[in-house]
Amino acid sequence: MAREDGGAASVMLAFLLGAVSGAAAALLLAPVTGREARGYINEKARQGRQRAEEAARQGRELFEQGRDRAGEAARQGRQIIDQGRETVVNAIERGREAYQQAREKENA
């Protein structure tokens, strides 16, 4: 599974590097002034930064939601285990009592 994730990351990185390289080549070969090219590059960099910040914010939100869900699942799991333990303890106690009563009847 980790190998598949690494492959997907490599493909995504290669795609992004290709896109950046293509954009840089287009800017260098385009018939625009240096000022226009710098303005375009600055605008695209700003947009990229905003997208990265938004993706990071969404990632943090998803992480927090997952953490909250995991905490709730753990709490419910502990509750179920405690209930099961209590049931087993009660069953053992009843079994002991029944055994003692049966033994007392035999001795009487």
SS3 of 6-34: HHHHHHHHHHHHHHHHHHHHHHHHCCCCH
pLDDT in tens, 16-68: 888 888 877 876 777 778 788 788 888 988 998 999 899 999 999 999 999 99
Does 68 map to a domain? Answer: yes
| Distance (Å, whole) CA 57 – CA 26 | 31
DSSP symbol at 108 = -
pLDDT of amino acid 2: 45
Could you give the number of structural domains in the chain? 1
Residue 76 confidence (pLDDT) above 90: yes
User: Residue 93 — pLDDT band, cuts 50, 70, 90?
Assistant: very high
Res 1: pLDDT: 44
Q: Which range of residues forms the domain containing residue 61? A: 32-107
In angstroms, how far apart are the furthest CA atoms of the chain?
A: 112
Mean pLDDT calculated for residue range 7-17: 79
